[in-house]
Amino acid sequence: MSQRAEQARENFLSGMNCAQSVAAAFADILPIAREQLLAASRPLGGGIGRLREMCGTVAAAAMCLGMLFPDVSKNNIYALVQEHAYKFREKNKTFLCGELLNNAGLPAETEPVAEPRTPEYDEKRPCPQLVFDAAAIL
């Protein structure tokens, strides 16, 4: 579990968005090509399309759960998703992207253009730890 969590953090620091970072950490056990997984998870970043709503790490974990457990009932997959989300919220006080950024003293900007990724960007954001947490819980 911690190996995948560390991989998720490394994915983020290498330039993937938050959702891609979590999904890619599980690519070897998901029934989808890595390129498709990265494409499918890309819009989930920034709190779903940079709307700063549900944290992309939690959304990506939900997507992974759906692929890991394709034969469980709708109610059971919802329960698994909620369990993951609630554990994430317990650890991080919220699962909303904007609140996670605000709690770190950062603005929750919603323009569709992301900031350039630099070491300074990664250093000031909670995202490297959040991708770690989401992957560790998953």
Total structural domains in the chain? 1
Question: What does the pLDDT look like over 17-67, one tens digit per residue?
Answer: 999 999 999 999 999 999 999 999 999 999 999 999 999 999 999 999 999
Alpha carbon of 38 to those of 82, 84, 85, 89, 117: distances in Å? 23, 21, 21, 24, 18
User: What domain range is 125 assigned to?
Assistant: 2-137
Answer whether residue 16 shows pLDDT above 70.
Answer: yes
Contact 135, 64 (CB under 8 A): no
What radius of gyration, in Å, describes the C-alpha atoms of the chain? 14
pTM: 0.96
